[in-house]
Structure 1
Amino acid sequence: MSRAELAIPPHAYPSARRYASIFYALACFYHLHAQRGDVLYSGESIGLAGDAVLSLKEAVHAVLQCEAKRNSEYLATRGEREGRAHARPCPSLRLNRNDFENVARRLALDTGIALDESDTYCSLFVKLGEWLLSQLDANPGGVLTELGVVREAMDGIQLGKAPSRNGKSLYAQLQLLKLDKYEYGKTFLNLSIKGDVRFSAVWYAVVGLGWLSTYSLTAGDTIVMVSPLEEAIEAALLKGGGKELREIYDSLHWLPLAPIYANAPPGLHEPYALLLALCMPEEAVEAGVLGVRFKLTRVRVANRAFTVVDEVPVDLSKYAMFVTLVKESRMAQLRSTIESLLRCALRTYAGSYSKYCEDAWGDLGDMVSMSRALAELAIGVNVYRNAYKLARLSPPPEGGRPRNFRDPRVMRKLLWVASRLARGLVIEA
């Protein structure tokens, strides 16, 4: 049985390695799921015994389908809220002149994809994914050979080889894929990584699809990305087991949807994590996605550049019992009140004023205090004290104010949930 060897970029180039590994993990999941052959991971490459081409094609289709679903869910949630449709935002290629003129346009000319000034990084990676599918049909051996090439160079690494038919060089790295060089506000020439990565078109498609699989949305000037932890991806590839790779597959399918459903900016970490857990679809909860630890990355887009704001590991499993309780049908009123507080706190914290939020929840200081108290209550910490705090800080229900925790019907339900959380902690102890 033949074995395809897919090279992985070195650890010294974390962005390229992360996104290539994510895409390969999807291909490995399909490979094992269809029982095409075994998977061998060495840290520097992945060996797929059997029909690797079909597994790669299925991975491409999976990423493109997830991207289409995120677009449709974004349109649905924003349409319901605002009464009109909004396209899911993604940074424009025009943000960086070099990215558009010297990378994207060259890729378009050499691959034959259609590209214009309205294209975004997302649409570029979608088109490269579609092009990769055509190459896997027309020249599968060439694609596999290309993905086996990672070369050290004087100024960095080369992924793939320059096409000999026209002698053109490999493609430079898009700024959006250089985040590990300018991480956490590092300025020009103050770099965490000195070397550059240069890509062939095939490698650009693979790394771009890996990036696309983690992209959730852009809120204002902030890109929100959700991805499995690197150690989880590596462990899944190392074990080569269907269960671990299934977890990676499910997390890539569901987790980037959560910020779209949450419909609030990720400023306050714990309240935002609680909102993500509450907004997770029932199908995702049943698949065990709440138990998957992941990384939430915020990237600021300013002055035609990208800067990582923070990368936060998130564990939603601690909210699992709370989510189960408040998602009961008879708790709809309580859940609506909770989501109202969390969204108002997050939006106001991000600088978006709303009279509704002020009437329902008071000033920013009170909203932040209440949202943090709620996040503590949700994990079983000081449940009754935090329930009292939520009632005490809620504005009095007068003059037609929106419903909050001063409403006895809402508070009764919250206290019932608090009692179950407290009882659960006692039983576990």
Structure 2
Amino acid sequence: MSETSDTTAAVPLLDELAWRGLLYQATEGAAAHLAEGQVRAYCGFDPTGASLHVGHLLPIMGLVRLQRAGHRPVALVGGGTGMIGDPSGKTAERQLNTREVVEANAAALREQLARFLDFEGPAAATMANNLDWLAPLDVLTFLRDVGKHFSVNVMLNRESVKSRLETGISYTEFSYVLLQAYDFVELRRRHGVTVQIGGSDQWGNMTAGTDLIRRMDGGQAHAITFPLLMTSAGTKFGKTEAGAVWLDPARTSPYQFYQFWLHTDDADVGKLLRYFTFLSRAEIEALDAATAARPHLREAQQALAEDVTTRVHGADAARVAREVSRLLFQKGDPRQLSAEALSALAAEMPFAEVAAPGEGLGAVDVAELFVQAGLVKSKGEARRLLEQGGLTVSGRKLSTAERTLAGEDLLAGGHLLLRKGARDYALVRVQG
């Protein structure tokens, strides 16, 4: 877990969540329970896909905040519940995955979750998989010991069920709440877990678990929820025109991830700094003031992008993303780009490899180079742009009088950065 500014340990957890706008609901007595000493708290993640996305970051950060407050987090991967799928927030039946797919997804999620938590020390985190206790259950035992505690009338009034009654909901998804509630029972028995955290859409499932613990074991447990995150425009957080923003760098590159946070609207950036970083209240309020006074500098967005990208992908990936971003959007000097940044650029823009001519770079047909890179359709178009001063190589503007390449145009790793106009880029690597 990376080191950042932190006041969490000095402030009661629910107070910390409250000033950040993260406390939506809590069961009665939750604050007193947390004040009694170290507790174990869990959050569940169903492996319905092979990667978590930024929408999962809020509960993940909730686990991290718990740990930084001295409590012990348990990250639960739903290898069992992932075979069914939570109907909450869904308007239609889920496509069921095979057991092999769910197991592969669960392994991927475990690896991602492990990057955020510390597994050593007095507040060591634990990983769990509910397949361990759900798979051995036989249906008669489950119906007798668990099902008898649930009223169908109450379940029919649950929002996740009521919203699906007209379109239809299978018994499989209807029974999901029983499985999640039973998870809480088993986690309390096996790991001493007494608190569950999650999004506000999970409140009914979570309180079903606290009630089941009381009914089955005569014990007490608590639930804490975070608000569902929407943008100021009323759209669901974490979605772009290209789709979900994933934590897996193979699905959403660190550069694209960095850009997602950098493009945060001024109206949302203060809230997201509170939700997704450990910057102190004073630091965030200073960034709020900077946004109001100097919005064009986007200081808060830069701090947000830097902090979250570092936490998810590491400091090196954040540095490379920052280099690439400054080049493309702040007209940075290409000669300052590191080899890692150039490699990242190759994945974000048109890329081509060309053989070095034996006569040297001066023999390269610049017009043909721009055609090969895909920036122009023909050599004729390239010549017209040369006459207009619209073609640049590695930061040097070309012209009809000066249209040959020179050794100083080569960047790290033998790359050439081509630009047409103000925004159209391509990267070329000269081989040999």
TM-score normalized by the length of structure 2: 0.29
TM-score normalized by the length of structure 1: 0.29
More helix by share: 1
* Larger of the two Rg values belongs to structure: 2
